[in-house]
Chain A
Amino acid sequence: MSGERRRATGRSRRRGAEGTPGPGGLPRAGAGRRAAGTPGPVLRAVGLARSFGQDESLVWAVGGMDLDVPAGQTLAVTGPSGCGKSTLLQLLGGLDRPTEGEVWLGGRRIDRLRERALARLRRRAVGFVFQDFHLMDELSAAQNVELPALLAGASPPAARRRAAALLDRVGLAARARHLPAQLSGGQRQRVAIARALVNEPLVVLADEPTGNLDSAATHDILRLFDELRAAGQTLVLVTHDERVAATADRVVSLRDGLPADDTRLDGVGNGGGAGNLDGPGGPDGPDGVDGMPDVDGGAGRGNGAGFGLDALLHWED
């Protein structure tokens, strides 16, 4: 069925800005890991659970989740507010500790690390991107990007070089000396993404990264994420925006702290089996309900076939 798709549209594996593979550019380690196809997920959660409150007011924000994020995957976690998606991200990034279960990052269990070791690991191995940017107001864009590199032990010249390359990468080379207040929301978020990348993290965790942005700025950020993905960066996005989620390789929907659905999107637009139009049963389907799409989340392959965009064109003449 893949042969029938003529256009290889969709996901561009191109690097957006050619000629900027500089030293501090995109994570080399990430690309290497992906090419080597190292087994084992970058990020793994086992029976992960987090409760708040006690007794009658006890609430399970995350209710016992297993999750594997392989190297190079962009995972989107969606769901209504209060479904536990932000808590999940905090647990995965070591910003919060689980009530039960385990978190593994780069093959290492992190949920039991002591605070100092955890902080060190976070700094080096995790890049965070937040909805409201979390930039230091009194520091320039470049200084904001340099800071985590310096904290992780990079020399000032090395930190400067990396920050310059990353700001160039996110299209803000000309704004390096601007303070956050002098930048638009979209520009600030691009600075925050550059900052998240400065220590070449194993994974970037983004919590509603486009939540405060207009559609044009959202478009820029999504393009940037797409370039990161093309470069092999592992990325976990928490979002309530279906359009943001749809740019991921995989979408996990949470309800009440548990995954309610897990949809793979990595074949879409690549001729990889998505977009074939023969839906279940076809026009004059076979007898009976056996062809019913079944609920089972898991695979989502057989019945999850989407519609090609061409199905939206009704050409009549």
Chain B
Amino acid sequence: MQDVVLALLVKEPSHGYDLRRRLAAALGPLGGTLNAGQIYVTLTRLEKAGLVVREREETPVRGPRRKVYALTAAGRERVAAWLAESPGPGAEVTAVHLKLVAAAESGLADPLALVDARRRELLRSLAEAQRAALAHDTDSEAGLLLEGIALRLQADLRWLEACRRTWSARTPRGRGGGDG
């Protein structure tokens, strides 16, 4: 979650409440349990690590003062590195989803490029699983495991197709690609 929070700060400094709102929007019902407290815990850790700084205290028209956090150069570097890193074959849907959201929100990477790269990676994993599956009996124990792995990769690939549709409809403002 640290990386996602960093990504949400790339474009402009923000406060915990706003970060929570944006995360909740991306997560839907899965974000129901997120509370502002957790976000502040994460922000405090990031601050200690030198990845964010508390910039100034915003004085709102009413309500309490909010601590506004901004990304440091190191924080920015870390987001970029995280975005460039593959989430790995067994990554959960939520983790991949958050990375795509983070890419779009930060402008540091093109979600479509991430989708395509992941699609290629998963296709290669699936190729390996399928080839291994063909070499095993379907009713052997190993064959059963390979069937499960292949089905799972297939589901991930189908979901990526949906990601591609949605993100391509949503990113007419040009590819992030380079340096935000």
Please say whether chains A and B are actual partners in one complex: yes
Give the docked Cα–Cα distance between A242 and B132 (Å).
15
8 pairs, CB–CB < 8 Å, chain A vs chain B: A246-B123, A247-B131, A280-B84, A282-B85, A295-B177, A303-B120, A304-B120, A309-B125
Residues of A within 8 A of B131 (CB): 9-12, 226, 247, 268-269
Residues of B within 8 A of A42 (CB): none
In chain B between 58 and 89, which residues have their CB closer than 8 angstroms to a CB of chain A? 77, 80-81, 83-86, 88-89
Give the docked Cα–Cα distance between A242 and B126 (Å).
8
Chain B interfacial positions (CB closer than 8 Å to A):
77, 80-81, 83-86, 88-90, 108-110, 112-114, 116-117, 119-135, 138, 147, 149-150, 153-154, 157-158, 161, 175, 177-179
Least CB distance, B80 to chain A, in whole angstroms: 5
Residues of A within 8 A of B161 (CB): 80
Q: Is A157 an interface residue when CB atoms closer than 8 A count as contact?
A: no
Give the docked Cα–Cα distance between A251 and B120 (Å).
10
Contacts A10-B132, A247-B130, A279-B86 given; indicate if A242 touches B120 (C-beta within 8 A).
Answer: no
Out of A12, A80, A280, name the residue touching B85 (CB < 8 Å). A280
Residues of A within 8 A of B129 (CB): 246, 309
Residues of B within 8 A of A175 (CB): none
Out of B77, B116, B124, name the residue touching A306 (CB < 8 Å). B124
Residue pair A12, B134 in contact (C-beta under 8 Å) = yes
Give the docked Cα–Cα distance between A274 and B120 (Å).
11
Q: Total interface residues on A, using CB and 8 Å? A: 53
Residue pair A287, B77 in contact (C-beta under 8 Å) = yes
Contacts A295-B113, A307-B125 given; indicate if A261 touches B83 (C-beta within 8 A).
Answer: no
Residues of A within 8 A of B120 (CB): 261, 263, 300, 303-304, 306
* Selected interface stretch from A29-37, A182-190, A192-200, A215-223: A215-223
Residue pair A261, B88 in contact (C-beta under 8 Å) = no
Closest 4 CB pairs of A and B: A306-B124, A293-B117, A307-B89, A285-B81
Per-residue 0/1 for A1-42: is the Cβ within 8 Å of any B Cβ (1 yes, 0 no)? Answer: 000000001111000000000000000000000000000000
Residue pair B88, A9 in contact (C-beta under 8 Å) = no
Give the docked Cα–Cα distance between A294 and B110 (Å).
9
Residues of B within 8 A of A12 (CB): 131, 134-135
Q: Is A243 an interface residue when CB atoms closer than 8 A count as contact?
A: yes
Give the docked Cα–Cα distance between A292 and B113 (Å).
9
Least CB distance, A303 to chain B, in whole angstroms: 6
For the A-B complex with A269-B132, A314-B90 known, give 5 more contacts whose Cβ atoms are closer than 8 Å: A243-B126, A263-B120, A281-B84, A305-B124, A309-B149
Residues of A within 8 A of B116 (CB): 261, 293, 295, 297
Q: Is A156 an interface residue when CB atoms closer than 8 A count as contact?
A: no
Residues of B within 8 A of A268 (CB): 124, 127-128, 131
Residues of B within 8 A of A246 (CB): 123, 126-127, 129-130, 150
Q: Is A58 an interface residue when CB atoms closer than 8 A count as contact?
A: no
Residue pair B126, A312 in contact (C-beta under 8 Å) = no
Least CB distance, A87 to chain B, in whole angstroms: 20
Residue pair A303, B83 in contact (C-beta under 8 Å) = no
Residues of B within 8 A of A279 (CB): 85-86, 88
Least CB distance, A12 to chain B, in whole angstroms: 5
Least CB distance, B21 to chain A, in whole angstroms: 27
Residues of B within 8 A of A282 (CB): 85
Residues of A within 8 A of B108 (CB): 289
Give the docked Cα–Cα distance between A275 and B120 (Å).
12
